[in-house]
Chain A
Amino acid sequence: MAIWFLRSRLAHHLGQRIGSLDALKLSSWASSLHPWIPPSLDSSDDRYASKFLRNPMDLYAARRFRSAKAQESVPVVTDGSNQVMDFPGGKVMFVPELRFLAESPGERISCYRILDDDGKTISGSSFQEVSKEIALKMYSDMVTLQIMDTIFYEAQRQGRISFYLTTIGEEAINIASAAALTIDDIVFPQYREPGVLLWRGFTLQEFANQCFGNKLDYGKGRQMPIHYGSNRLNYFTVSSPIATQVPHAVGAAYSLKMDKKHACAVTYFGDGGTSEGDFHAALNFAAVMEVPVIFFCRNNGWAISTPTAEQFRSDGAVIRGQAYGIRSIRVDGNDALAVYSAVHAAREMAIRESRPILVEALTYRVGHHSTSDDSTKYRPVDEIEHWRTARDPVSRYRKWIERNGWWCDDAESELRSNVRKELLHAVQVAERMDKPPLAELFTDVYDQVPSNLREQERLLTELIKQHPGDYPPEVPV
Chain B
Amino acid sequence: MTLRGLGRGISIGKRCFSSFTEVEKPPMDGKPINLFSAINQALHIALETDPRAYVFGEDVGFGGVFRCTTGLADRFGRNRVFNTPLCEQGIAGFAIGLAAMGNRAIAEIQFADYIYPAFDQIVNEAAKFRYRSGNQFNCGGLTIRSPYGAVGHGGHYHSQSPEAFFCHVPGLKVVIPRSPRQAKGLLLACIRDSNPVVFFEPKWLYRLAVEEVPEHDYMLPLSQAEVIRQGSDITLVGWGAQLSVLEHACDEVAKDGISCELIDLRTLIPWDKETVEASVRKTGRLLVSHEAPVTGGFGAEISASIAERCFLRLEAPVARICGLDTPFPLVYEPFYMPTKNKVLDAIKATVNY
Contact = CB atoms under 8 A, between A and B. Distances in A.
Co-assembled chains A and B = yes
Contacts of A444: 130-131, 134-135
A219 B132 contact: yes
Contacts of A440: 134
Interface stretch (B18-26, B100-108, B287-295, B323-331): B100-108
A217 interface: yes
A222 B90 contact: no
A128 to B, nearest CB: 28
A188 to B, nearest CB: 7
A218 B270 contact: no
Interface stretch (A230-238, A307-315, A419-427): A230-238
B94 interface: yes
B138 interface: yes
A241 B117 CA distance: 15
Interface in B88-103: 89-90, 92-103
A246 B100 contact: no
A230 B134 CA distance: 10
Nearest to A255: B101
B192 to A, nearest CB: 12
B79 to A, nearest CB: 6
B195 A251 contact: no
A255 B99 CA distance: 9
Interface size class of A (residues with CB under 8 A): 35 or more
Given A247-B94, A446-B195, A252 B134 contact: no
B120 interface: yes
A282 B98 contact: no
Contact of B93 (A186, A227, A237, A244): A244
A375 interface: no
Interface stretch (B121-129, B204-212, B341-349): B121-129
Given A218-B133, A244-B120, A284 B101 contact: no
Interface stretch (A31-39, A340-348, A447-455, A465-473): A447-455
A248 B140 contact: no
Contacts of A256: 101
Interface string B290-318: 00000000000000000000000000000
B270 A219 contact: no
A390 to B, nearest CB: 39
B282 interface: no
A465 B134 CA distance: 26
Contacts, number: 146
Nearest to B127: A445
Contacts of A186: 101
Interface string B70-102: 000000000100101101011011111111111
B335 interface: no
Contacts of A253: 97
Contacts of B120: 241, 244
B93 A251 contact: yes
Contacts of A227: 132
B94 A254 contact: yes
Contacts of B135: 443-444
B270 A446 contact: yes
Contact of A447 (B96, B100, B194): B194
A108 B199 CA distance: 48
Interface centre among B136, B138, B194, by most chain A C-beta atoms within 10 angstroms, is: B136
Among B97, B128, B133, B137, residue most surrounded by chain A Cβ atoms (within 10 Å) = B97
Contacts of A231: 133, 136-137
B223 interface: yes
Contacts of A294: none
Contacts of B89: 247, 277-278, 281
B147 interface: no
Interface of A: 186, 188, 217-220, 222-223, 227, 229-231, 236-237, 239, 241, 244, 246-256, 258, 265, 277-278, 281-282, 284-285, 288-289, 440, 443-447, 450-453
